[in-house]
Amino acid sequence: MAKEIATSNAPAAVGPYSQALEVGPFVFASGQIPLDPATGTIKGETAVDQAEQAFTNIEAVLKEAGLSMKDVVKTTVFLTDLNDFGPVNEVYAKHFVKPFPARSCVEVSALPKGAKVECEVIAYKG
């Protein structure tokens, strides 16, 4: 049975989904865009600023589950412009430690609310 993970320290879901679900030893976190949890609006103009907020939101969800970024085993990063890969990668490297999670990064045509960055993670409670 899945256990819902929810926190007011990250944006509420913008659709019919959970912020995260704990299933066995894994936590599957839904994609986080750079929404300010207090206002519900996009925080940051650049992909770098937006990535910082998206990772801050992920950290809040993981904290609610009793985890941290070092427990993340897989990430998927979505960018609306793959030219932002390098700068966003620098932000990414500040939030994760070795051994770094497995990762996919893809360019998409659009993200919710006009965001430039979205990231989803899978974490392991080991």
Tell me which H or E stretch contains 119: strand 117-124
Q: Which amino acid does the sequence have at 105? A: C
Report the pLDDT value the prediction gives residue 1, as an integer from 0 to 100.
87
Q: Is 119 assigned a catalytic role?
A: no
Q: Of the residues 9, 105, 113, 124, which is catalytic?
A: 105
* Axis crossing angle, helix 85-95 with helix 47-64, rounded to the nearest 10: 30
Which residues of the chain are under the pLDDT cut of 70? none
Q: Which residue has the tokens 């910082």?
A: 52
| pLDDT number for residue 10 | 97
- pLDDT, residue 14, reads 78
| Total-model pTM | 0.95
Sign of the Cα torsion 68, 41, 87, 20 reads: positive
Which spans in the chain are helix H?
47-64, 85-95
State the pLDDT at residue 48: 98
Q: Show the domains of the chain with their CATH numbers.
A: 3-124 (3.30.1330.40)
